Amino acid sequence: MSVGSVYVLYNPSMPGLLKIGRTKRTAERRARELRTTGVPSQFIVLFDVLVDDVDRVESAMHQRFAAARHDPKREFFRLAPREAISALLEESSAFLKGSPFQGSRLDITAALQASHGPILRDDLSTVCMVQTADSVKLAAEMLTGIGQRTTIETELGFIVDGSADEPLFSLEDSLEVNAQRFVDLDELTLLMCTPLVHGDHAERIDHEQNPYWTALWDSLPDVDSD
């Protein structure tokens, strides 16, 4: 058996096709490696999972979708993303890697850019939700220099749903549901609970939306100017 990640990749230049493969490194790095002069767009990691037997899980996926394979010699399949991700969750369930990095992950970079783009840090490379048997995490990959990156992981279990006073991110819910909850977070929660917000926007968000500051401003007496 060999440890590695099985991934589902999408390329905007190849509509309708998904690449299902394996790597001993990270899926994000593999996606970057696949960008060649003959490929006009960057591959996007839709989903990946770290498993104990990467060859077996990849083979199970390829056999499962043999009828949808675009070319017998290539790892491209005509599939809907939801179908591929659901199948990978099923095929990998018995092989999840028993390490601190085990579990499933979902790339939410594009969704996060669409909902919060203007306030996000400039050095963000990818942002993923990671769900294991006992935690829900955020994994943010940052650019630290030319060709260099670092990943910051943030446990999300401390974030509470104010209306129910219960954890917002539940292990009883699917990775996709928890990912959507994260994307839907308001600016203040994103600032207070994650390292994703650009410093130029942090002070504005804090002063405009933090209840402490708004209560303080409301308590100040009006001052008439002469």
Q: Which residues contact 65 (CB under 8 A, 6 or more apart)?
A: 20, 77, 79, 84, 87
Q: How far apart are the first and last CA of the chain?
A: 80
How far is it, in rounded angstroms, from Cα 44 to Cα 13?
A: 11
pTM above 0.85, yes or no: no
Higher per-residue confidence, 89 vs 218: 89
Higher per-residue confidence, 63 vs 105: 63
Q: What is the DSSP string of 128-144?
A: EEEE-SS-EEEEEEEEE
- What is the sign of the dihedral through the CA atoms of 51, 103, 43 and 123? negative
pLDDT at 100 exceeding the cut of 50: no
Pull the structure tokens for residue 94.
């018995």
pLDDT in tens, 115-153: 999 999 999 989 999 887 677 889 888 887 766 778 888
How far is it, in rounded angstroms, from Cα 74 to Cα 66?
A: 11
pLDDT in tens, 45-77: 888 888 888 899 999 999 999 999 999 889 999
Residue 183 phi, psi dihedral angles, 5° rounding? -60, -30
Q: How far is CA 107 from CA 31, 35, 222, in A?
A: 12, 18, 48
Q: Where are the domains of the chain?
A: 1-102, 108-219
| Beta strand extents in the chain (DSSP E only) | 4-10, 17-23, 44-51, 76-78, 103-107, 124-131, 136-145, 148-155, 160-161, 166-167
As a whole number, the mean pLDDT across the chain is: 84
Contact (CB, 8 A) for 144 and 123:
yes
| Per-residue model confidence (pLDDT) at position 79 | 92
pLDDT in tens, 27-49: 888 888 887 767 778 899 888 88
What is the mean pLDDT of the segment spanning 70-89? 91
* DSSP reduced 3-state for 207: helix
* pLDDT band, residue 99 (cuts 50/70/90): very low
How far is it, in rounded angstroms, from Cα 181 to Cα 53?
A: 31
Contact (CB, 8 A) for 62 and 75:
yes
pLDDT in tens, 161-184: 876 678 899 887 888 899 999 999
Closest CA to 138 of 117, 159, 161: 159
Pull the structure tokens for residue 107.
């790339």
How far is it, in rounded angstroms, from Cα 137 to Cα 128?
A: 8
Place of tokens 């037997």: 53
